Structure 1
Amino acid sequence: MEQFPDGAHVRLQSRIEGAYVYANEDGYGISMSPHGASLNAVWAVHRLVRRGTSYVLLHGAAYGRYLSITREDAPRGYGRIVQRLYDDPRRRDFLWVPVEDEDGTGDVVMHNRRHGPWRRFEHPDEEISWMVEAIPPRQDPPELPPAVPPPMVPLGGTMIALPQRRGLPRLSRRSIRYGRATDQEGFNPLVWSTLWFVGQSVSWLRRDIANALGEHDQLNITLCVRGGSEGRLTPLVTDLPRDEQTMEIVVFTTGSQAAAELVYPDADAQQQQD
């Protein structure tokens, strides 16, 4: 458990494959990727204790969603690793216990509270041994990706977005629930406003939320995504996933004490070499 301190950021690397646990851009799937220098391969540690047992939960540094296991589309008797919102504290498929491998390498096998050891999807009889790599924090928040406007086409002398038109990429459209955290009282999870957002650009999302809040400068706000009603906040600095699932965004005032306490992992930190 000492490799998973609460609030820290880690990468999980398969010793055999050398690949990292990666949050797919669809916001749901998990894959193994060689690209460790990506927020999609970084996970924040959320520790809790249930009935005297200490558990590890992991939520992605990219989209804030939690590692879970589902039986859907999995070999009979086994599970498949996915990203999900942590909404129900009674759910056991979010709870993990890392058990140190007996080979003396310091690697761990991740045991799920509900479904048992994390196994290879292609070879479900094989447990996976993970190297746990600690990721240091950045000194400053990263710049957001450049804003990419949706494709526009002329119609009746007016430029409008037609994402469903043949030859144009389909754009996601989702509901954004957002609430502002005050420097004095923090965030009230019972008070939300809603807007509809088209596309995946986090820069455009910040602009739209700033406009909705009456902020003249979008740099005055910092966005965090909440990975479910029981989930912790994750600074939102990557473009949104491709799905259309509702996202909950907590807005901080840039430069406030609360915003200054946010931790941004340095995904470009030197990767572990063995």
Structure 2
Amino acid sequence: MHRFPDGAHVRLRTRIEGAYVYANEDGYGVSMSPHGASLNAVWAVHRLVRRGTSYVLLHGAAYGRYLSVTRDDAPRGHGRVVQRLYDDPRRRDVLWVAVEDGDMTGDVVMRNRRYGPWRRYEHPDETISWMVEAIPPRQDPPELPPVVPRHVLPQPVSRRSIQYGRATDQEGFNPLVWSTLWFDGQFVSNLRRDIANALGEHDELNVTLCVRGGSQGRLTPLVTDLPGDEQAMEIVVFTTGSQAAAELVYPDVDAQQQQDLDF
């Protein structure tokens, strides 16, 4: 089927409830939410052909992690949809096949390469049909969210390892060359400041951050605060205003929703 073009941004929405597949702020769980105007409800398409079969992979526009299925904590005989790093080229739980629903609505049914159809947990014999909503790009990158004063922060503050590397202005990046810093908290503005300082940049606005959702994952512009876990993150740094930075695509979550686009 000619849906899910490589590199596009989409939402997946149920026709009956009208809820969206939503990347939870813990960086792991996935839930259904009515809030479509959020990066947590947006997924970037990563097309992959393996042994002659074309698969759809979806990584979150918020945290860059891939939509996956696990049997951990799932009802017997079913899988649970989660966010995971795509860190092994042999992984099958991140591979999806989108098939037409067959009811002439243009909706799709998502089938996982490892666990089969994405099913309702309370109705084992019923598959979910999804409306695919295409999201246009923004003209300019969004501003990063503001930093909350320290005295109103919940305690304890999370701490994680950040591996970072700088790309060339023409997009090149050596994935074997990483530096490491420890970062406290979740504010992406503070992370940009700390990485800029580590790179010797006097103005933090000179750097643009992208997160990589695993060694096999694609880059996602990091414009939201970090997830609430303490999992290490890989950050690729571009020079703001460079050719490579200008080619980054940011979804316009506030644009009028587009559905049934001819992909």
The TM-score with structure 2 as length reference comes to: 0.96
| 1:110 partner SS | strand
State which of 186, 193, 196 in structure 1 corresponds to 2:179: 193
Tell me what 1:244 maps to.
Answer: 230
| 1:88 partner SS | coil
Q: Structure 1 unaligned runs (5+)?
A: 153-162
* 1:183 Cα deviation after fit: 1.6
Amino acid at match of 1:258: A
* 1:83 Cα deviation after fit: 0.1
Amino acid at match of 2:109: V
Within 5 Å, give how 1:220-235 maps onto structure 2.
220-235=206-221
Following TM superposition, where does structure 1 have runs of at least 4 consecutive aligned residues deviating by more than 2 angstroms? Answer: 121-125, 148-152, 271-274
List per-residue Cα deviations over 1:76-101 (Å, max 9, x = no partner). Answer: 11100000000011111110000001
Asked if the contact 2:133/2:259 (under 8 Å) is kept, the reply is no
Q: How many residues align?
A: 260
Tell me what 2:63 maps to.
Answer: 63
List per-residue Cα deviations over 1:12-34 (Å, max 9, x = no partner). Answer: 00112100000000000000000
List per-residue Cα deviations over 1:216-274 (Å, max 9, x = no partner). Answer: 00000000000000000000000000000000000000000000000000011123589
Moved more, 183-192 or 11-20: 183-192
Within 5 Å, give how 1:34-49 maps onto structure 2.
34-49=34-49
The TM-score with structure 1 as length reference comes to: 0.92
Tell me what 1:140 maps to.
Answer: 140
Does structure 1 residue 255 correspond to structure 2 residue 241? yes
The 3 A distance-change label for structure 1 pair 139 and 185 is: closer
* 1:122 Cα deviation after fit: 3.2
- Greater C-alpha Rg: 1
Tell me what 1:155 maps to.
Answer: none
Root mean square deviation, CA, Å: 1.5
Amino acid at match of 2:185: G
The share of aligned pairs that are identical, in percent, is 86
The 3 A distance-change label for structure 1 pair 95 and 44 is: same
Within 5 Å, give how 1:1-274 maps onto structure 2.
1-151=1-151, 168-184=154-170, 186-271=172-257
Asked if the contact 2:170/2:244 (under 8 Å) is kept, the reply is no
